[in-house]
Amino acid sequence: MWRLVLLLSILQSAYTNPITPCEKLHTVMVLEITAFTKKALNEGVELLQRVIDNAELLELSDIDRIMLEQFAEFIESRRHAVDSEELSDLLEELVELLDLEDVSQELDECENPVAKLLRQYGFDTFEKNLEKQLRTFIERTEYHVEAYLKRQYAKDSEMPTWFTEFQKENDIERKYLMFLEVLENIDC
């Protein structure tokens, strides 16, 4: 539905004011981030829901119950998020909730029932898929920005400098943060 509204608003404004290449780039970037975050969040919600559903059968400590409540709150938040900014914030929250950098190591050492369920229902696969999707998203973003810069001689903007730094960056998470920053500050 939101895509239809976006398309109609773009078409309506195109008749009154032509869409600039910068506005087209911004729209494409928003669509890309929205598609990426929706897919990642849907997979994360599926994993968390499976853990919640199966944890009810186990004897849980108070800490485990709190963790499951946080999972449930996150799932509910995801149901209400629609725009790219809310989705990006939720993806950040999911990464923090699962503490993706530390959970893999803890899962190997832990006897915690929630941690075991995370492993059993595909945490490792989720983590690998998330990184793969992030890499694909970054590659698509690079393609769109590079195409924009080739068509436009945006030498007076900060975009070429940002893009050079973006391409040089090797850390995928840092690139994602750089993308979010430029998306927030793009001035068309």
Furthest C-alpha separation in the chain: 63
Domain ranges (residues) in the chain: 22-185
Q: What does the pLDDT read at residue 60?
A: 81
d(CA 60, CA 117): 12
pLDDT digit string (tens) for 49-60? Answer: 999 998 887 888
Report the distance separating Cα 69 and Cα 80, nearest Å.
17
Phi, psi angles (nearest 5°) of residue 120: -60, -35
Which amino acid belongs to residue 177?
A: L
* Per-residue confidence band for 104, with pLDDT thresholds at 50, 70 and 90: very low
Is residue 148 a contact partner of residue 32, using CB atoms and an 8 Å limit?
A: no
Mean per-residue pLDDT over the chain, rounded: 81
* Span 83-100, average pLDDT: 79
pTM > 0.85: no
Q: Please state the φ and ψ torsions of residue 158, each to the nearest 5 degrees.
A: -90, -5
